[in-house]
Amino acid sequence: MQNGDFLAHSQISKEILNSANLLKSLRINVLIRGDIGTGKKTLAKTISQNSLIIDAKELQLALSDNIFSTDFDTVIIDHIENITNIDMILNWMSESGLRIIATTKQNELSNKLEEFFAIKIVIPPLEQRPEDVKPLANKFAIEASQVLGDGKTKPQKLIINTTQNGYSLRQSVFFSYLFESINEGEIMMLLEKLIFERLEGENNYRDFLYLFETPLLRASQKKYKSQLQMAKHLGLNRVTLRKKLEINDI
């Protein structure tokens, strides 16, 4: 089930999307709440595609300078938790005649802001709606293949990271495509650039050794499983290996 860009395959997402579809024709102020990357702004645009999207800080600044105007009848205020002059914003929202859809990552706002919104929608993190992860990853994969690939070839395996929901998932999928095309020389170039920008002090060799050791040890751990096999293939004795694992927090 899909509407616009908001993918809904889990039961809770389908219920949220149904609510959004019902709200399309209603001039009701809506607050959408959820962690980073859960799809708050996408859902807001699903409710009202023909709307102005503005960051809360930018809106507050424009209102303070008396320079804000819009031809839209709906305004989506992103990150409304960043508002500091709540009374000014509330007065404007009440008197403007506009429908307001706001997003926030906070569980609670000020009582005045909470009371302004008749409808509140909470979008759970992806870990609570696992059925949405694969379709969302496939959506990002199509995007990544068009930007970084030939539009057809897919990586052998997609890296899936949902620690920050859709935000980190998109990054990990794009990295999967980038990893397929990057070569050793380009990796070395990126490392060289990183180290060059951070070089300082008198123990640089020791300070940056982890950039080589940590991924080597982690990869060896995944491939060889036991420390005995790791030590054998890395050419280290087990005491040295254990010490390196401890130093690199593995």
Buried b (16+ CB within 10 A) or exposed e, 146-156: eebbeeeeebe
User: Which has the closest alpha carbon to 52: 97, 105, 113, 99?
Assistant: 99
33 pLDDT above the threshold of 60 = yes
Chain position carrying tokens 């809904």: 8
For the chain, the average pLDDT equals 92
Q: How confident is the model at residue 179 (pLDDT cuts 50, 70, 90)?
A: confident
Residues paired with residue 52 on neighbouring β-strands, in sequence order: 75
pLDDT at 2: 46
Tell how strand 74-78 and strand 52-55 pair up. Answer: parallel
pLDDT at 158: 84
Model pTM?
0.77
The architecture (CATH level 2) of 2-124 comes to 3-Layer(aba) Sandwich (3.40)
pLDDT at 249: 86
Domain boundaries, the chain: 2-124, 130-181, 199-247
User: Which has the closest alpha carbon to 72: 87, 42, 51?
Assistant: 51
Task: Give the integer Cα–Cα distance in Å for 7 and 163.
Answer: 18
pLDDT at 65: 96
> Positive or negative, the Cα torsion across 187, 188, 191, 197?
negative
